[in-house]
Structure 1
């Protein structure tokens, strides 16, 4: 195994890579901006948790489907125009979501937002990998750092804007996406089209490769656990937009730090898939603690002579979850880029299609389980999904070993 580069080497990148990374920060700010206002939307529009969670489901479902198409679009109009098209669509639909008067309208416009997100995200990773110096590892670290920064700052800004009005974060996203649009337009030079046109069927053909399929299905169940924590936890914390913003700011900071600093350390010393067994298991345990805490609903943990409230345990679990998710984000992305002998854009589209389906199912189903049974069941389901992700990864281990040694 090759010795990994120093931290600074990963960030010695050309302007083109930084331009896309900046837009990635802005794009993922958009996802985090919405999280602190979920309960405010439910209250203002008189909607149930499962109805409000459809904001994530429509967004993720459209994103998943469009991930399959985005590669074909990029091969026809070129990566730069695909990025700009995606950002422009987000600008329009985020602004429209802010004008909504019913939860159905917000859900509909979030679906349009997902269309733009798919065009941007699937292309952004491939472009960064293509223009960055230092190979796939440096490109992925830059991408994950941008993702983590966006996810951490987004909730904080969303909490501030959401304290004024639940519509504020939607308008904020629109403005930020517009900034990202102009950054890409000005700073990113024309990127060559792929040497051959990509078919809509290519991502499905790519999933025939067991290594890529293993990573994609692992990511499906991992994403179920991810979005159970990210999208459902605001409903059990019962905090205002300011409070939720600070909690998920801490989550995002840990995700960014662990994706950039800790994940490479693990990659340098252990096989990628073995590290994922360990981290996925810790994340499953984290969600199990959240489920048990929600079920008990009163102080259950004493540390250093201090009684921890249920809310304190949940907040701590969210922030710890950010640590584990940061490591997983980098390992999953690196593993996927190396898992199949196909173009990076095709591998990214195939992987993202399956992964985002997990993100589409989790928020709505978590809300329904909470309404039909109790909130703790939603966390237990997330725990079970993470256990399944470990089993899937283990079942395909032989197809991954050769790639990481």
Structure 2
């Protein structure tokens, strides 16, 4: 999103910073296992496709649980939902570190995914709500949309959320490498400890958030997907996420490096994700519009996927790191699109959108490693490139459903333009 002059990314209440810290740790869990995937396979006598189920179980449960987040938070409030999610992550991350088989590890990662879904979906609504209220509007986490007076705070908060995503994704592989080099179990225990710290911070710094006046129905996220713009955004993101997680979950097996090497490569990748999310996407959106940024980022990701398939070892490292640029651009563009393209309450729109898009993250890791084992090691990247091409096709065919984003871009351009003398 694009902050106005009134709002600042760094001018947030302590409750927002506490939630953002916990979000960083939550997103660290996504890439935490990347550097230790080969070590897990070796220590638990598992194949790459079996180990890839760590991602599949995590994101499959995350996707399905997204449908429950609004129903839960509308009944017990945002803060309690955050704390339940954090508590589940602490428990299942610690249990993952005690696993004696890959099936146990996959099961504990599924429980971890449930906690992560409750936390991540609610965190965005809580961050936006707290920042919007601080900016002079009304909280957005209760299900409504802030009026224009509070919009600057919301936009700054979403950039902060995307920064937390990028920082967490970049630090996850680095922490996984440093701890995993000592023992493959330590990254799981480390995540449990950090999430426990986040639990304490939110307990003490975030004010209790009462349930909204209207309770969210279980069917609300699915009903929200009946909106043409939201469904277009969600299913485009599904194919994009397939390509995204092909890079994240399959490439560690291709690099042929130790934990430190894999961790450094994906740390560089994560830095690109963070920089593109926070500093690249907003000016590009101001100049070209959100949908055109999606086209650009998907096209770049096709180029890097083909590079991963065709180039040698050095090219794989470079393309992996640089692929973080289009991924960061798309993360911000798609988040904005999901929040703005329909008139659904933000938490409901986010739940429906994330339910569909995380399915891409669930499908890619296992199918990519199976394709490599059964057919050819380059094929997963060609499939990833094809998925990006399909995503572009969806945007083209259903472009009339995204006209609301064009109006949002015009509104931002008018608001951000200098006042006449």
Pairwise TM-score range, normalised by the shorter structure: over 0.9
Verify: 1:272 aligned to 2:290, yes or no: yes
Aligned partners of 2:340 and 2:404 also within 8 Å: no
Shift of 1:272: 0.5
- Output aligned runs, 1:171-182, within 5 Å: 171-182=189-200
TM-score using structure 2 length = 0.90
Separation in 1, partners of 2:203, 2:209: 12
Shift of 1:128: 1.1
- Output aligned runs, 1:192-211, within 5 Å: 192-211=210-229
- Output aligned runs, 1:204-243, within 5 Å: 204-243=222-261
TM-score using structure 1 length = 0.93
Which residue, out of 291, 299, 313, partners 1:281? 299
Separation in 2, partners of 1:154, 1:359: 17
- Output aligned runs, 1:114-193, within 5 Å: 114-132=113-131, 133=135, 134-193=152-211
Separation in 2, partners of 1:329, 1:43: 33
Aligned partners of 1:136 and 1:334 also within 8 Å: no
Separation in 1, partners of 2:396, 2:189: 44
- Output aligned runs, 1:350-365, within 5 Å: 350-365=352-367
Verify: 1:75 aligned to 2:82, yes or no: no
- Output aligned runs, 1:51-90, within 5 Å: 51-90=50-89
Shift of 1:348: 0.6
Which residue, out of 364, 378, 389, partners 1:376? 378
Q: Which moved more, 1:128-137 or 1:212-221?
A: 128-137
Aligned partners of 1:210 and 1:399 also within 8 Å: yes
Separation in 2, partners of 1:278, 1:327: 9
Runs (5+) with no aligned partner, structure 2 = 136-151, 408-421
Which residue, out of 330, 333, 350, partners 1:348? 350
Separation in 2, partners of 1:125, 1:404: 23
Report the CA distance shift for 1:349/1:3 in structure 2 as closer, same or farther (over 3 A).
closer
Q: How many residues align?
A: 388
Shift of 1:194: 2.2
Aligned partners of 1:4 and 1:268 also within 8 Å: no
Separation in 1, partners of 2:97, 2:222: 36
In structure 1, the partner of 2:90 is 91
Shift of 1:8: 7.9
Shift of 1:340: 1.3
- Output aligned runs, 1:14-33, within 5 Å: 14-33=13-32
Q: RMSD of the alignment, in Å?
A: 1.4
Aligned partners of 2:7 and 2:156 also within 8 Å: no
Question: Which structure 1 residue ranges, 4+ long, deviate > 4 Å from structure 2?
Answer: none
* Cα distance per residue 1:277-313 (max 9 Å; x no partner): 11101101110111122xxxxxxxxxxxxxxxx2211
Q: Which moved more, 1:109-118 or 1:191-200?
A: 191-200
Shift of 1:372: 0.6
Runs (5+) with no aligned partner, structure 1 = 294-309
In structure 2, the partner of 1:330 is 332
